[in-house]
Amino acid sequence: MRKGDLVRLKVEVCFTRREGGGREFPLGSYRDDSEGLVRSYCPMTEEERDAWYEKPGNRGFDSAGESKLPPVSRAVMLHRERTYIVLRARARARLSYGNATPGLAKLLDTLTGDETYVKRHLVEVI
């Protein structure tokens, strides 16, 4: 896989046998599996974090007395029948608090314009 390649989800790795794949249990939920969806993650922008802080339930402190932290990334659903463009074939991304997650590929969802990260072994070149 290289930058600029067109990729799609690998059916045998991403979906259960009931849905035509090779897994015994789904990656996410059974609903996502039956609808042909795989969850990937996209880092949140400053505007999205500011919008998160604007909601009244996200201000103040939690039950332990610590300030509430905004999420670092948001979920983007990849669809079984769509194709995606590879922006980076080998990437590391900080998708949560802590260390960066290795073994990812950065994809462009041409329908929504989102740049999202997914594990490399879940996609195949067309």
* Tens-level pLDDT at each residue, the chain (126 residues): 999 999 999 999 999 999 999 999 999 999 999 999 999 999 999 999 999 989 888 888 888 888 888 899 999 999 999 999 999 999 999 999 999 999 999 999 989 898 999 999 999 999
Q: What residue spans define the domains of the chain?
A: 6-44+71-125
pLDDT attached to residue 58 = 85
DSSP H or E segment with residue 11: helix 11-14
CB 82 within 8 A of CB 103: no
pLDDT attached to residue 4 = 95
